[in-house]
């Protein structure tokens, strides 16, 4: 099952910065919040144009991309 993209880059939106589809909220904002020890709920409260489903899908996509690039230490 292929999911619709939740992040896109458009040169007309924030100079091509990757943002959540349908918003002007950069993906980087979510990462910064989580790195800053804020919760997902705090991020969603501060950026109400991003849905919980979009945020979770973006995190899942990042996980899959990182896991696909991982290599065995053995």
Burial class from Cβ neighbours inside 10 Å (0-12, 13-18, 19+) for residue 18 reads middle
Dist. CA 32–CA 38, nearest whole Å = 9
∠20-2-56 over CA atoms, to 5°? 40
Dist. CA 49–CA 45, nearest whole Å = 9
Q: What phi, psi does 6 have (nearest 5°)? A: -110, -15
**Residue of 13 and 69 predicted with greater confidence:** 13
* pTM listed for this prediction: 0.85
**Residue of 66 and 42 predicted with greater confidence:** 42
Q: Is the pLDDT of residue 72 over 80?
A: no
Domains of the chain listed by start with CATH number = 7-65 (1.10.10.10)
């Amino acid at each position: 099952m292929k999911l619709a993209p939740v992040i896109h880059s458009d040169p007309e939106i924030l100079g091509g910065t990757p943002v959540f589809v349908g918003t002007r909220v950069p993906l980087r904002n979510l990462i910064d919040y989580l790195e800053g020890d804020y919760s997902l709920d705090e991020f969603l409260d501060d950026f109400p144009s991003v849905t919980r489903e979009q945020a979770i899908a973006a995190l899942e996509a990042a996980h899959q991309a990182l896991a696909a690039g991982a290599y065995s230490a053995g």
